[in-house]
Homo-oligomer: A and B are copies of this chain.
Amino acid sequence: MRIVLVSPRNPLNIGAAARAMSNFGFRNLRVVNPYEVAFREARSAVRAQHILDQAQNFENLAEAISDCALVVGTTAAVRRDLHVPLNRLEAAGAMIRKQLQSTPVALLFGSEKFGLSNEDMSHCHWLLRIPAREEHGSMNLGQAVAICLYELRRDESAAEKGFQPAKSVTGEDLERITGVLLELLERSGYVQERTSKSAELKLRRLVRRLGLPASDAETWLGMLRQVLWKVKQGVTAL
């Protein structure tokens, strides 16, 4: 994968692109005709200096993509007169990953101010668009690079794997907690003896709605018992 920045103006953005590349494990950065030649000193390339050091500088786009069998341009445009097929990033990611199995692919980003020119785009097999709002599609260069690289590293199967819900507490533990809590509430005067039976049912349902994780049951039981002990002690002291 070659990340190609065409006529970038701000070295900080080149550094930010390098940092995102390091974050997501990409190495090959190419810079075409940068406005600031001293981009290798960009401080924004935090822990990605090796990528800036190895970045290749080209005078024109054709040279920068000469070894690539697929050239994909990025654009903020939604207009239809691009003369080149346009994909949303979600679809583009899979297409690029597939092509990468057999040949190098270039992903092109235009200058901060103007994006890719029509001439730049004529080198592209197709274009991709990050699904930003149509009213404000123009993104920061470093952020656009980061989002594209994230999509390339994205693992759809991981989307299904949320963390396992915590193991639920057993009925026995729930009943012990309910029992201690009921005694505590009776002794505190929250529950009156004559309504005690319906209070117990309400309490049992309340406790079950908590979604208490099994691993926390002992802690809650311990806290409640300690408070109950304190309440009992106070009553004795009177």
Contact = CB atoms under 8 A, between A and B. Distances in A.
Interface of A: 16, 19-20, 22-25, 44, 46-48, 85-95, 126, 130-133, 136-140, 142-143, 146-147, 150-151, 153-156, 158-163, 166
Contact of A159 (B16, B47, B93, B136): B93
Contacts of A143: 16, 19-20, 23, 142-143, 146
Nearest to A16: B140
Most chain B CB within a 10 A radius of its CB, from A23, A47, A153:
A23
Nearest to A15: B140
A95 B162 contact: yes
Contacts of A133: 22-25
Nearest to A88: B158
B136 A22 contact: yes
7 contacts: A16-B143, A24-B133, A85-B166, A91-B160, A93-B159, A126-B163, A132-B153
A23 B159 contact: no
Contacts of A25: 133
Contacts of A46: 138, 140
Contact of A20 (B24, B131, B139, B161): B139
A47 B137 CA distance: 10
Nearest to A17: B143
A131 to B, nearest CB: 6
Contacts of A166: 85
Contact of A136 (B23, B91, B155): B23
Given A16-B140, A140-B44, A131 B158 contact: yes
A159 B158 CA distance: 16
Contacts of A150: 89, 130-131, 147, 150-151
A44 B12 CA distance: 12
